[in-house]
Amino acid sequence: MHQTYTYNKFAYQAPPELKGGPVHRHPLVVVGAGPVGLAAAIDARQQGIPVLLLDEDDTVSVGSRGLCYAKRTLEILDRLGCGDAVASKGVGWDVGRTFFRNQEVFNFNLRPQPGYKRPGMVNLQQYYLEEYLVKRAEEAGVKLRWKNKVINVQPQGDHVRLQVETPEGSYAVEADWLIVCDGARSPIRTMLGLDIEGKVFMDRFLIADVIMKADFPAERWFWFDPPFHPNQSVLLHREADDVYRIDFQLGWDADPEEERKPERVISRIRAMLGDEREFTLEWVSVYTFQCRRMNDFRHGRCLFAGDAAHQVSPFGARGANSGVQDADNLIWKLKLVMEGYAPQRLLDTYTEERVFAADENIMNSTRSTDFIAPKGRISTIFRNAVLELSGELPFARTLVNSGRLSVPSFLITTLLNTPDSEPFDGDMLPGAPMDDAPVDANGKPGWLIDHVGGKFQLLYFCDDPSTISAAMQQQLRRLTAATIPVHTIVIARKAGQCSLDCVTDSQGLAFQRYDARPGTAYLIRPDQHVTARWRETEVSRIVAAVARATANFAED
């Protein structure tokens, strides 16, 4: 097989603890240098938290593995300093097409409206994403230790004690807080005797990364029962470096070892692409999958994220995307707790909110899998009837499910939200991930999403910034000096002078998407989720909403 990517090894360095002396206590230790662990470590450093990151390997992941990164994940990566690298190297796309046998029966557009910085999805091999994240982590000051394998974990009440094995011996280290991102098999989860429950799907799929020159558009193509692979399904994605990812459904009875053999893989690909198409295999894998999660993502000072906490089928690109959003939800809460500005029950909302998201992902992933791989003759007849009708009847198209693609969860049930007291239209209700829009700042075009994140912020809408009263400007400026600061961004219909940070709604989309009028205000959490909104801005209401959003409220 040919490789387009060179797997560089990261240098192992002997930890100072091997020389003896007292066990060192770290404020935060992260275990696992995959996309989720790296995202958590970078975010923590950007929040000013010292971070030690341990990984038992010394290179990035092998093969494309995680591939599709959704718009919400790209927005988070922008805040972490990696978004441009991923978007530039990867293949952006919005359109997906579904075929039944040899006829297109359904298509969708992930971004039907213009006016967003990022596409609906970017396809990029996971090794590139990890490479960019490692580089950013080093720049941010994360202490990375490669070939450091955690072999024992002992919670100690106010900290966690770890035993770590290296090529030169083992050592002990302590953490005030431990974030566990050590993957679906999670050795640490096993060490702590923690359960994970769910469903194993009795099917097998072949992944083949193929290098070839082709003029296929940057779209997602999914076939049910195609002539070149009858009675099964096939998925095609375009990646960077002229690589194409092809997933073949094999059935549960397939022999994984036989199916990995190059001659069998090449035969399947030739049936799909034709004998004339030249290609080279880069990577092959056969997988099964599960939909399951832990009951609680927090166990004292051990916090689980990504595949260590929950797993879904690959249909819908919900694995890495949901894991990065776990980190996005967790780190700002952990910072406030570590600094004493919020009670530990704020961390309980990490479990509440991300279990809600995991259940949503598992539900959608399970439905997709049941449609793609129906169990039994009646289910197959129903599935095929839906596909046949979907070419002509709109109601049938809504039933076609080739993988409901990753979207962020609307955290509308969390206790951290302040309920609306006035009517609003649109999607930006408390709990929603904030919507992007084009804006001008200091005469230069840009994006609203790039002005928000990492701290509490108030979006204050007006016609002209120069008409905001001096008293209101002073009150909003004082919010930046509060115990938990709130920074105001004025979103105006036209440019004007004021003492606050201002952007101009250059196309009117911000006002439209937020159902705003002059005086409307939105309080945005550090993870860019709406947590409160008002038609009229009163500082006392903002202060109360921040207290609620940080769990600084009286318990019933």
What residue spans define the domains of the chain?
16-89+125-197+293-359, 438-549
Dist CA 457 CA 449 (whole Å):
12
Dist CA 527 CA 456 (whole Å):
9
- Give the count of beta carbons closer than 10 Å to the beta carbon of residue 395: 9
List residues bridging with 488 in a β-sheet: 458
Scanning 141-229, the segments in alpha helix (DSSP H) are: 187-191
Please determine, looking at this structure, whether the domain spanning 16-89+125-197+293-359 carries the CATH number 3.50.50.60.
Answer: yes
The two tokens of residue 53 are 């990151």
Dist CA 324 CA 132 (whole Å):
14
Strand (E) or helix (H) holding 545 = helix 539-549
In the three-class reduction of DSSP (H, G, I as helix; E, B as strand; rest coil), residue 403 is classed as coil
Q: What is the pLDDT of residue 382?
A: 86
CATH classification code of 438-549: 3.40.30.120
Sheet holding 444-447, edge to edge: 444-447, 438-441, 501-504, 486-492, 456-462, 521-524, 530-534
Q: Specify the pairing of strand 149-155 against strand 160-166.
A: antiparallel
Sign of CA dihedral 404, 407, 408, 412: negative
Q: What is the pLDDT of residue 197?
A: 83
HSE-CB at 260 with a 13 A cutoff on CA atoms is: 8
The pTM is what?
0.95
- The identity of residue 347, as a single letter, is L
Q: What is the pLDDT of residue 5?
A: 80
Q: What are the tens digits of pLDDT across the range 100-154? A: 998 998 888 998 889 999 999 999 999 999 999 999 999 999 999 999 999 999 9
Dist CA 231 CA 487 (whole Å):
57
- By CB atoms closer than 10 A (0-12, 13-18, 19+), residue 547 is middle
Phi, psi of 427 (to 5 degrees): -95, -10
- Give the count of beta carbons closer than 10 Å to the beta carbon of residue 464: 16
- Taking 70 as the pLDDT cut, the residues of the chain under it are 1-2, 314-317, 403-406, 555-556
Q: What is the pLDDT of residue 310?
A: 94
Find tokens 């990492």 and name the residue. Answer: 454
Dist CA 497 CA 487 (whole Å):
17
